[in-house]
Amino acid sequence: MNLNPGGKQAILRGTTIPTDDPNIPEQLRGRPQSMVFDESHPLFAGKAKGVQAVLEERGLWTHYSQKARKAGKTNLNLRCKTCNGPNVAKDLLKKSEQLIKEAEANGFSLSHDTSIKEALATHPVPPDCEIDL
């Protein structure tokens, strides 16, 4: 399951919110939970949900965010720049390689630097993310 909704991830089957987890609010326990956004969702209709959406629906995102705040820590952050940087770099390199192959298939030549610039133009790096290419 991806952090964010949609993308290239398997569509998981629906499930039931656990009844035996004391951290899940009583009113949510035992309710069915779809792993796909319904067709009325304005942005992600029919797309797979991400980890954050699933945790929010189970009341766990709020629970663990409050628990962290009480302990003097920051809220949950699944977009850590230390962890995210290498993934962004991998994605950019993959996109760069794809652009080079497409250019060569069409009889053109594309340098690595130019392909990285093209990849950055279509897939900008989040401002808080540090990458090393």
**pTM across the whole model:** 0.55
Return the DSSP state at 19.
S
Check residue 82 and give its pLDDT: 63
Check residue 129 and give its pLDDT: 63
Check residue 52 and give its pLDDT: 86
CA distance 26 to 93: 46
Check residue 93 and give its pLDDT: 86
Check residue 79 and give its pLDDT: 64
**Average pLDDT of adjacent 10-residue blocks, the chain of 133 residues:** 80 92 90 94 90 89 87 75 69 88 92 85 67 64
Q: Where are the domains of the chain?
A: 15-70, 81-122
Q: Is 9 exposed, middle or buried (0-12, 13-18, 19+ CB in 10 A)?
A: middle
Check residue 48 and give its pLDDT: 92
Contacting residues for 8 by C-beta, under 8 A, at least 6 apart: 2
What is the torsional sign of CA 67, 71, 69, 2?
A: negative
DSSP H or E segment with residue 89:
helix 81-105
